[in-house]
Structure formats: C-alpha cells, structure tokens
Amino acid sequence: MKLDPTQLKDWQIAEAAESSMKPLSSLADDLGLVGDELIPMGRRLAKVDYAKVLTRLEGRPRGHYVDVTAITPTPLGEGKTTTTIGLVQGLGKIGKKSIGAIRQPSGGPTFNIKGSAAGGGLAQVVPLAEFSLGLTGDIDAITNAHNLMMVALTARMQHERNYDDARLARSGLRRLDIDPEQVEVRWVMDFCAQALRDIRIGRGGKMDGYEMDSGFAITVSSEIMAILAVCKDLRDLRARIGRMVVARSRDGGEVTAADLEVDGAMTAWLVQAINPTLMQTIEGQPVFVHAGPFANIAIGQNSIIADRLATALGEYVVTESGFGADIGFEKFWNLKCRFSGLKPSAVVIVATTRALKMHGGGPEVKPGVALDEAYTKENLELLEAGCANLIAHIETVKKSGVRPVVCINSFHTDTPAEIALLRRVSEQHGALCALSEHWLRGGEGAVELAEAVVQACEEGNDFRFLYDLDMPLTQRIDTITREVYGGAGVTYTDEAKAKIAAFEADPRTSELGTCMVKTHLSLSHDPELKGRPTGWELPIRDVLVYRGAGFIVPVAGAIKLMPGTGSDPAYRRIDVDVDTGRVQGLF
C-alpha cells in the first residue's frame, strides 16, 4: 500500500501499516531469540528477557552503537525520534541488521502539546496506540513504586508524631525523626498537571496523615525512572532503590527507602518493567522501548539494559538522547556511557532549517500557530545566522572524540541553496553531513544518512569523557557550563552553596555523576536566548541528590519538574471509533 504522509496524518499511516506488521515470532527470529526469551504481552507486544539473552550471548562482539541528538529545538521538536526510526529503516535498506532503542513516551506530552514519540510520516514505530497509551505498563509501575515510597514516608511521619519510642519499638520500628522541611521527593503522576505542583497534604485529624507542604512531579522525572535507565540488572536495581534519599532527619542525616523498609516492595512493582519492550518500525525492523524522556529534567535516555541487549543482537544499534546535544548528548556522553561501558561509534545531530532560522532571529515559533513565511520560503540570511547554534552542537560532540554526522531533516519547503548552505557549514566545522527524507520516503529517503553513519562508524574515534569523577562538583558544573553551554560562569543561591559544601565534604560524592537540569529551548538557562548566546552565567538555585541513580542534580533557572498543560492540548483531538475500538487522533 502506498502511503503519502503529505495527505495522511501520522495515526492514519500507523493504522494502515499495522495491518502488515510482522508477527512477534518473526521479530524474534529476526533478532535471533530462542526458547522463552520472548515474553508475549498480548497479541502485538512482547518483552524480552534481557538476562537470558545476555547470559547466552556473553562474549559476543558488539554491534556499532549510534546516538541521535539534535540542535536546540523549537517548541515543535525537530524530529529526533523520526530520524532515529528513519535511520534504522535506512540501514535496513543498505543491508545492515539494524535495531532501534528508544524511550517510552510520557502521558504528559502525549495528551498535551508535543504529542507521542513514535516518530512521524513514514518513519514510525508501531503499534501506535499501544505505544502511546501505557505500552506494557512500565511507567505505571514506576508511578506505583514511587508513590508507595511516599505512602511509607508519610505514614512513618504520622506514626512517629503520634507514638512514643516504646510503642514504635513494639512495631519493630526505630525513630527516624524525619524533618518535614527536608522531604526530598514529591508524589508523581504521568500528566502535565500544574495545579498539583504545590499542595498541602495531611489535613484533618491526627490519624489523617502528617500535615505538610507537598506536591507532584511528572513520573518520568522520578529517580526511579533514572534508576531503570542506568541499572545493569535486577540485583543492581534493587540495591539502587534502597539507596534513594527520600528525606532528611532533623540532624541532617539521610533517610532512604531502605530506612523506610519499603525498597523491597518498590522493587516488586518493577520486576516486569526491567525487561525492554519489543516493537517494530513500519518497515519491520525491531525496536526496543525502555525508560523515559525529558532530558531537561531527568537523564532522558532509554535504558542501558536495552542498549546492551541491542548491541549483542544487532549489527547497528540506533538510540536517541533527549533534546539538544547540550542536554541529552551531554548526559549520554558523561553519564550513560560511563555507567554502561558502551562507547558510541557515531553521533547524529538532527538539524532543520526551521529551527536554525529561529535561532538566526526569525519570528517566534508556537505550537498550534501557523508558521511565519520566513520558515517556508528561502531565507539564507536567517539560516546562516542561525548556524551558530548548529556549530555549537558540532563542537560539543567533537569534544567527546567522536566525529558528528549532521542530518538535515528535510522539509518540503527547504530549497537547494539552503541545503547547500547547511552542508557547507557542517563540513567546514568537521562534521559529515547527509540530507534525509525519511518522513516523506521512509527507509529509502534515509539511505544517504545511513551511508554517512556507516562511514563514521568505520572511521573509528577517540571517545573520552568531559570530566573525571574525582573533579570537585563546582568544577564539573563550571566545566559543563563553559565547554557545553558556552556560558561565562556559574552563580549559586545560598541554599545551593550550602548543599554543595556538604556534598563536597562527603567522600561518596566522587562516586556520583552530574545530571544537570536546564531548559531545552536555549543553550543557556533562559529559553528566550536563542542562537549561541555569550556572556551569560548559569544560575544554580538548588542541588538534589539521586543517590540511587548515582547522580548529583544541579537545578538551573526556573525549570519545574511538573510541566503544565497548554490551552490547546492534544487530548482535544484524541478519540475512539466505537465500532472498531481503534484509537484515532494520536500524533
């Protein structure tokens, strides 16, 4: 069936493609799975028993490992997932055994402005409805595990207030003396619910909980999601859950999930979630889906388990990192690769003329508002001015020792002169460059990109980290700010200074990576500063500790861990055909 993405919506293309999906048994055969390594989850989805596969294939040479990142995007996104899926399909077209490894979409953006994260046009992962609406339950499991921890915390605070030490001892408890002003975590739900950012809980009598200020964050920002992304197996997951810092005692000591004796029950929620979900592109290549998005407020990577699984089974593995290279790739480079031991063979930077014209001074780009003609007609002056942003991301990737491949994610309004300009700038700054029309033509449209990626993989690289873990925390933050974001320095609130002093006095800090929280809409902390801003300083207002995940988390600017729902959310257009049960309107 010939599908035309200029005439059909993404959900219509996905619905048509789903009629010719490969059976799960065929996908398993393509991957080389044997026995009960495939765990069916209904008729069209399955998980893969990573432990059995990795044990069987221990010592097998690993496939090439390719990361997809991007320039600083517009609020519309610049097509990283679409490019990731298109590249998997393009590699298939040139005869390579390719596997995708992507993140599960959050219900927040799916029902809000950005939509799902299945790709688009003729470069999608299917089945779309299952992918977008909970998949095999991993995010639900994380929500339940996290909120069980909050139940344990608040119940313990109530009982310690109401009972003396003797009564606690009869229940087998010791007094943790939790400070209600130093609770480190909030409740979670997987929607953009700004009304729940700040709430007061425990109102009523003394048996109705502990009254205090609280609130909600989005589930994918939970430390448990980060733990799922970086753990190596179930034993490691269990140990990391126990180390999660939930609050502090009145004397400043850490209160962990293990102290609350809830870590085992939390892990029980995650026994199935630790196995990656197997899906497929609309052209039939396998794709592993595991862990979640939001690299601006979380690690924003699919899991190390999925990547290890894919590189053991495939010749080329394509993964993606959230948002631009300043955020997603920096965390892939200095956190994920450090924890996994895997090193990228190539890094793709997705660029669009639309975003670069915005960075060159073009009109504001808003979801739901028609693009100004500056973005749909040739404008070499705007485009060239905006290339400063592309150059910044090229230089960031090169600092990792990897030669980047710039993917020009083509729009039908791009002109030959604009494409030539992007090629020239990319190549002048040391990158390979390829035009890709995967949205319009699927794998056939990504052949040039696939060939450039193969060339980069065959050239090899000298991959290296930006900082050593023995570098003091303030120096790491300064290094990331200057070398990746292009800032002139860092400022700290008094609260952040006090926390950093305590962290730097703790020898355990040298074991932790640095996971920055910053806007994705600018290289700086300020989403209004486009292009490649200079002369600014990064304001660190708070510093969190994710001891289970293994991160120190500096928080820059006014970014929030619970996004808000916009005035024209996607849920207004999502519905169900009540005759067939098919979901319509997802994008």
- C-alpha Rg value of the chain to the nearest Å: 24
pLDDT for res 101: 97
Question: In order of start, what are the domains of the chain with their CATH numbers?
Answer: 10-137+272-459 (3.40.50.300), 138-267 (3.30.1510.10), 473-556 (3.10.410.10)
Residue with structure tokens 């998980």? 47
* DSSP-assigned states of every residue in 96-124: --EEEEEPPPPHHHHTSSS---SEETTEE
Cα separation, 71 vs 77, in Å, equals 10
pLDDT in tens, 43-73: 899 999 999 999 999 988 999 999 999 999 9
pLDDT for res 322: 81
> pLDDT below 50 — which residues of the chain?
none
Nearest to 162 by CA among 175, 149, 179: 175
Q: Which long-range contacts (CB under 8 A, 24 or more apart) does 133-136 make?
A: 133/107, 133/583, 134/107, 135/45, 135/104, 135/277, 135/289, 136/41, 136/45, 136/47, 136/272, 136/277
How far is CA 419 from its chain centroid?
A: 29
Q: Which residues pair with 213 in a beta bridge?
A: 200
Q: Which residues pair with 543 in a beta bridge?
A: 554
pLDDT in tens, 277-332: 999 999 999 999 999 887 677 788 999 999 999 999 999 999 999 889 999 999 99
Which tokens hold the place of 147? Answer: 């909120």
3-class SS of residue 42: coil
Residue 574 sits at the vertex; the CA angle it makes with 571 and 580, to the nearest 5 degrees, is 155
Q: How many CA atoms lie within 13 A of 177 on its CB side?
A: 6
pLDDT for res 339: 95
pLDDT in tens, 448-492: 999 999 999 999 999 999 999 989 999 999 999 999 999 999 999
pLDDT for res 127: 95
HEC per residue, 421-460: HHHHHHHHCCCEEEEECHHHHHHHHHHHHHHHHHHHHHHC
HEC per residue, 8-39: CCHHHHHHHHHCCCCCHHHHHHHHCCCCCCEE
DSSP 73: P
3-class SS of residue 214: strand
CB atoms within 10 A of CB 453: 30
Strand ranges for 137-240 from DSSP E: 178-183, 187-189, 199-201, 212-214, 216-218
Find the farthest-apart pair of alpha carbons in the chain and give their distance in angstroms, rounded: 80
CB atoms within 10 A of CB 536: 18
pLDDT for res 1: 55
Q: Which residues are catalytic?
A: 80, 82, 103, 114, 295, 323, 411, 439
pLDDT for res 220: 92
Note if the pTM is more than 0.85: yes
Residue with structure tokens 């609350």? 260
